[in-house]
Amino acid sequence: MENIILVLGASGQIGTELTQKLRLVYGNNQVIASDIRVANEEIMTSGPFEIIDATNKEAILKVIQKYKVTQVYLLAAMLSATAEQHPQKAWNLNMNSLLAVLDLAKEKHIQQIYWPSSIAVFGPTTPKENTPQKTVMEPSTVYGISKVSGEFWCNYYHKKYGVDIRSLRYPGIISWKTKPGGGTTDYAVDIFFKAIKDKKYECFLSENTSLPMMYMDDAVNATIQLMMAKPEVIKIRNGYNLAAMSFSPKEIASEIKKYIPDFKISYNPDYRQKIADSWPASIDDSEARKDWNWQHNFDLETMTKVIIKEIQKL
Ligand code: AKB
């Protein structure tokens, strides 16, 4: 049976690029993009688009039935920094959307789900370096609480109802096509735009705050690779650790200086520093590498080179 894919949250940072790649892989008309707001021009015109509130199970079901959807990628979410400002809204969006999609799979309307977890499932009591797959998960953020709870729900629906749910604990995702919104790792995107435009950047994290990060291309490839893997190789149903690189604001700034020598960074940590301090500095993703052959392609050096080149062309 052919795959018909629905992407919920296709206007967001990851949703935009994931939808474009899925359309390349599966064909434009096999991938239905959706969001609560309109998407960019290319997403709107290259294939079907529907306005959907991802917490509205009936609205999702309508679209599933209209297009005979087999797989749902649920990318709609409120990220860590915004979630701290709007805890109830974040909980409602992040949880109700996941439970709606899990129920639709349990009721056999769809066959497979992708849902992103995050390094935010970890907290201050988690080992900070090379954080293992299975370890203490006591998040101190609203976003982290929603992600850890979501992971438990994914595991539960898989074990109890046989739902084919797959998930990755994304590190900070860095891209240049669509900007992120409301995350703690967003500085690592903004820094490129400000470096090229203003030759200076004021960072909201302190200079030595090291966090796990990944270039968008690697994140999109990992996601599609995980979804294409045979069910028997997927040993973890709550969320695979996933890693590519770790760096601090000071380290990315010095990499950028190789291309923009007069670039200056200054530091003015705000409430997001506390969030970053509660997260791991590096991640052990050996289970993903072992189970479904995950490999990253970009490190800080290669990613910086590509992003600077691409932003300069804009
Ligand atoms: C955030 O900063 O909130 C996200 C994440 C690490 O999940 N990028």
Q: Write down the CATH number for the domain with range 174-213+245-313.
A: 3.90.25.10
Q: How far is the CA of 5 from the centre of ligand 1 (A)?
A: 24
User: Residue 52 above 90 pLDDT?
Assistant: yes
How large is the ipTM? Answer: 0.98
Instruction: Give per-residue burial for 117-140: e unless 16+ CB within 10 Å, then b.
Output: bbbbbbbeebeeeebebeeebebb
CB of 122 closer than 6 angstroms to any ligand 1 atom: no
Q: How far is the CA of 117 from the centre of ligand 1 (A)?
A: 9
What gap in Å lies between CA 77 and CA 91, rounded to an integer?
9
What gap in Å lies between CA 262 and CA 257, rounded to an integer?
7
* pLDDT band per the 50, 70, 90 thresholds, residue 39: confident
Q: Give the mean pLDDT of 94-109.
A: 98
What gap in Å lies between CA 246 and CA 280, rounded to an integer?
10
Domain 5-172+216-241 identical in fold to domain 174-213+245-313: no
- Residue 2, SS3? coil
The packing angle between helices 13-26 and 216-228, to 10°, is 50
Using one digit for the tens of pLDDT, what is the confidence trace for 111-142? 999 999 999 999 999 999 999 999 999 999 99
Mutate to test the pocket of ligand 1, among 185, 271, 278 (most ligand atoms within 8 A of CB): 185
pTM of the shown model: 0.98
What rounded mean pLDDT belongs to the chain? 98
Angle (nearest 5°) at CA 16 between 307 and 303: 20
Domains in the chain: boundaries: 5-172+216-241, 174-213+245-313
Alpha carbon separation from 274 to 83, 204, 270 (Å, rounded): 14, 11, 8
CB of 116 closer than 6 angstroms to any ligand 1 atom: no
The two tokens of residue 260 are: 């923009």
The architecture in CATH of the region 5-172+216-241 reads: 3-Layer(aba) Sandwich (3.40)
Closest CA to 244 of 277, 205, 275, 285: 285
